[in-house]
Structure 1
Amino acid sequence: MSLALTERFGAAIERVRTYDRPLLIIAAILITAGILFSMATSPAATARIRIEEAFYFAARQSAYAALGVFVMLAAAQLDPRQLRRTAVIIAAIALPLCLLASIFGPETKGAQRWFDLGPVSLQPSELLKPAIVVVWAWMLGEAMRAPRFPGRLVAIGLYLICAAVLMSQPDIGQTALLALVLGPMLILSGLALRWVLGGAVFAGAAAWAIYSFYPHARERIDAFLSDGEPGYQVGRALDAIAAGGVFGRGPGEGVIKRSLPDAHADFVFAVAAEEFGLLASLGVIFVFGALAFRGLSRASRLNDPFEQMAAAGLVTLLVAQAAIHIAVNLSLLPAKGMTLPFISFGGSSMVGSALALGFCLSLLRDRPGAYLYPGRRRE
């Protein structure tokens, strides 16, 4: 018994040595930045909701970060077969939970997306995202191997089911984010041009329907397209970014965060810009750019279609979510609550992001026969 455990532990350590080191460094930077920025935003956020402990959110974010590291490293230990099975199980649990949340979850700002579990809350859609991306990749990879297998139709059907459930909450942002991930995956899998054009028409029709039938979405889009001032939150976020200048006011010295709702979550990029300046903001963008470059370049050299699709899709998921968060903070997109992976406050967001990056680490490990150019695996 003890010998078997020792052997398994030794095998796990050997797999750790095959992890992609640049991705590990990127993860460490983002998680550390999340803790640092939560320390900057926590006093203002706790004062707004009358919590006496000034660093309440910072302490929780640190605990979530520890959990995220555990989840990431555990997911990175999986081999491709275990990864597929794990993703199917998570998706099969998270999707019904999303539906139950839309029915029984507490209503917050007109949406029902969470379960209140006492001291913590659970947003199952954050766990659904990385899992469903892996399932899509599995279906698309099988379609690439066997053209008669309807993997693309299965992936599209799964997306429509997810979209219907998410829109029942409603969660327009997550629905759009998943579409932004699935679209490139379908194109890379060899989807015919007529279907690509059909998908573009469908996306346009869906956008029109959302604008027509969801008043809160229409209000945000109208505010974004108008020539007047942006909405309150986006306006305050722009003020914070402008006030930070090049070097920032200094850690804890930001003032606009005190009047900016969700400064610790949906607008953490703006708070970071006010306190740490333009250089720190560009640093965050650079790190996510490095994640995109490293992840996609490694994924492009994988031999297996499933592994290639899954790794590329997961990297796209993280980077696209970060891009939406930053674009909203800069008033480049209509206001939408979207967390910044690893940095915004939130346990569900942290675990979901860690799961996505852990899956990536699993797929991008140095393994015999995994890469097209085995002699160039280390860069």
Structure 2
Amino acid sequence: MTGIFSDKFKARIKVDATRYGRADRSAVGRWFWEIDGVLLLLVAALIGIGLIAVAAASPAAAVRYSGGSHKVPELYYFYRQIAWIAVGVPVMIGISMLSRERARRFALFGAGFFFILLLFVPVLGPEVNGARRWIEIGIGQLQPSEFLKPFFAVAMAWLLSLREADKSLPVFALSILPVAAIAVLLMKQPDFGSTIIFVAVWVAMLALAGVSLRILGGLAVAGVIGIVLAYFFYDVATIRIDAFLFGEGDTFQTDNAMRTLTAGGLFGMGPGAGTRKFGLPEPQTDYIFSVIGEEFGLIACLAIALLYLVIVARVLVKLLDEDSPFAILAGAGLVIQFGLQALINMAVNVQIAPSKGMTLPFISYGGSSMLALSIGMGLLLAFTRRNPYLTRSPYVVKWSGEAQPA
């Protein structure tokens, strides 16, 4: 009887696989059944929310950047955001279809390429609002540091995972060199916020890689010393910290952002009804969270914060079942970076962090930001892909449609 039921079970799996396309051997077929559909749906929700938020912020941004004979259409940034999404989403899906090995190679190449571009920013980059962070590429400006973020996380994961193969490799010492170089280049731009993200992601990945507590403690002390030194010898840090802690200097941006955020109360003033957003310096990018608060209410802001938390928690919980050290480090590094960027942006808007000039992932307007985030999420989806049959039955269904004992 056992053999009969076993044969029937195999046949049923084979029929179901054929009926629902699970026997599809194409790249699209494998991707469809292996991808984390819930994570993809959550990201799609963020992109949809972002479109609504950019539409709300676009008139305020248009007024701000209109002057003299130069008039910016009210929904200029909204239409451009649609165009960036039309480019970014296919990029994200395409990268998520890569195998882990190909995704790793792609990320290592990207890390090297954008690090080289970062070297040329001080030489080739135009100065905008006192900072050099971009490179002109003919059709617009490209910010190398934004693209380097996801590639950096994967490159660090690869380097730190080498320790599993050879315990004698000084991976910690080797990882210091690129991090220090990136930090110096970013501080020159200046871009203090991105520096914090790169260093924080690196430290988090060191902890996951099993670096000793003595080293982590030393890094914590070095971090405190670094912030103190930055306060006394780095003008950008001095201005930001003084404004945050003592209210000295120009606090207009953060003060106005907080007033705008709370102006709508719990439920907001309604789409397009906000007025304080017209006084924000960057309503479509850095302070879009405040625009959401004014027009859609504090409850909407809380829901967005929870959405980011769910994405981070889902990836970290899913990685608990992963057995590849590289995949664990890469997935954790990418999602920590994603969550930290969201946290910093929201913290600035509610005045619990100094102004950083950080976009809200998938919600803020921006070409470099949207494409870089799409690349990062594509890599994250690639590293969290899982064959569903490995955990659902004692038989592994091959893509040929035949059921084989696991």
Q: Same fold, TM exceeding 0.5?
A: yes
Tell me the SS of whatever aligns to 2:34.
Answer: coil
8 A Cα contact 1:99 1:168, kept in partner: no
Partner of 2:292: 272
How far apart, CA to CA, are the structure 2 residues paired with 1:210 and 1:62?
A: 39
Partner of 1:31: 47
- Quickly say closer, same or farther: Cα 1:45–1:192, change in 2 above 3 A: same
How far apart, CA to CA, are the structure 2 residues paired with 1:103 and 1:244?
A: 44
Moved more, 334-343 or 223-232: 223-232
Q: Could you tell me how far 1:8 is from its partner in structure 2? A: 10
Aligned to 2:121, which of 85, 101, 116?
A: 101
Partner of 1:19: 35
Q: Could you tell me how far 1:251 is from its partner in structure 2? A: 0.7
How far apart, CA to CA, are the structure 2 residues paired with 1:16 and 1:213?
A: 53
Tell me the SS of whatever aligns to 1:17.
Answer: helix
Tell me the SS of whatever aligns to 1:272.
Answer: helix
CA distances 1:219-269 after superposition (whole Å, capped 9, x unpaired)? 121111116798101111111111010110111111111111011100000
8 A Cα contact 1:224 1:230, kept in partner: no
8 A Cα contact 1:143 1:152, kept in partner: no
How far apart, CA to CA, are the structure 2 residues paired with 1:52 and 1:211?
A: 39
- Quickly say closer, same or farther: Cα 1:211–1:118, change in 2 above 3 A: same
How far apart, CA to CA, are the structure 1 residues paired with 2:110 and 2:272?
A: 39
Aligned to 1:78, which of 85, 98, 111?
A: 98
- Quickly say closer, same or farther: Cα 1:56–1:150, change in 2 above 3 A: same
1:314 matched to 2:334: yes
CA distances 1:293-324 after superposition (whole Å, capped 9, x unpaired)? 11111122211000001001100000000000
How far apart, CA to CA, are the structure 2 residues paired with 1:104 and 1:162?
A: 17
Q: Gaps (5+ residues) in structure 2?
A: 1-22, 395-406
CA distances 1:141-200 after superposition (whole Å, capped 9, x unpaired)? 111332112222222222112112212212111110111111111011111121111111
Partner of 1:193: 213
Moved more, 63-72 or 310-319: 63-72
How far apart, CA to CA, are the structure 2 residues paired with 1:54 and 1:9?
A: 47
Structure 1 residue runs of 4+, over 3 Å off?
227-230, 373-376
Q: Equivalences for 1:257-336 in 2 at 5 Å?
A: 257-336=277-356
Tell me the SS of whatever aligns to 2:141.
Answer: strand
Partner of 1:132: 152
What is the TM-score of this pair, normalised by structure 2?
0.86
How far apart, CA to CA, are the structure 1 residues paired with 2:360 and 2:242?
A: 24
How far apart, CA to CA, are the structure 1 residues paired with 2:247 and 2:240?
A: 13
Q: Gaps (5+ residues) in structure 1?
A: 1-6
How far apart, CA to CA, are the structure 2 residues paired with 1:214 and 1:375?
A: 59
Identity %: 38
Q: Which amino acid aligns with 2:310?
A: A
Partner of 2:381: 361
How far apart, CA to CA, are the structure 2 residues paired with 1:375 and 1:341?
A: 37
Q: How many equivalent residue pairs?
A: 368
Q: Which amino acid aligns with 2:297?
A: G
Tell me the SS of whatever aligns to 1:252.
Answer: coil
Q: Equivalences for 1:58-77 in 2 at 5 Å?
A: 58-77=78-97
Partner of 1:47: 63
In terms of Rg, which structure is larger?
Answer: 2
Q: Could you tell me how far 1:118 is from its partner in structure 2? A: 4.5
8 A Cα contact 1:181 1:316, kept in partner: yes
CA distances 1:67-100 after superposition (whole Å, capped 9, x unpaired)? 1111111110111211111011111110111121
How far apart, CA to CA, are the structure 2 residues paired with 1:33 and 1:120?
A: 25
Partner of 1:4: none
Q: Equivalences for 1:164-313 in 2 at 5 Å?
A: 164-226=184-246, 231-313=251-333
Q: Could you tell me how far 1:355 is from its partner in structure 2? A: 1.1
How far apart, CA to CA, are the structure 2 residues paired with 1:259 and 1:9?
A: 55
How far apart, CA to CA, are the structure 2 residues paired with 1:250 and 1:228?
A: 34
How far apart, CA to CA, are the structure 2 residues paired with 1:166 and 1:228?
A: 25
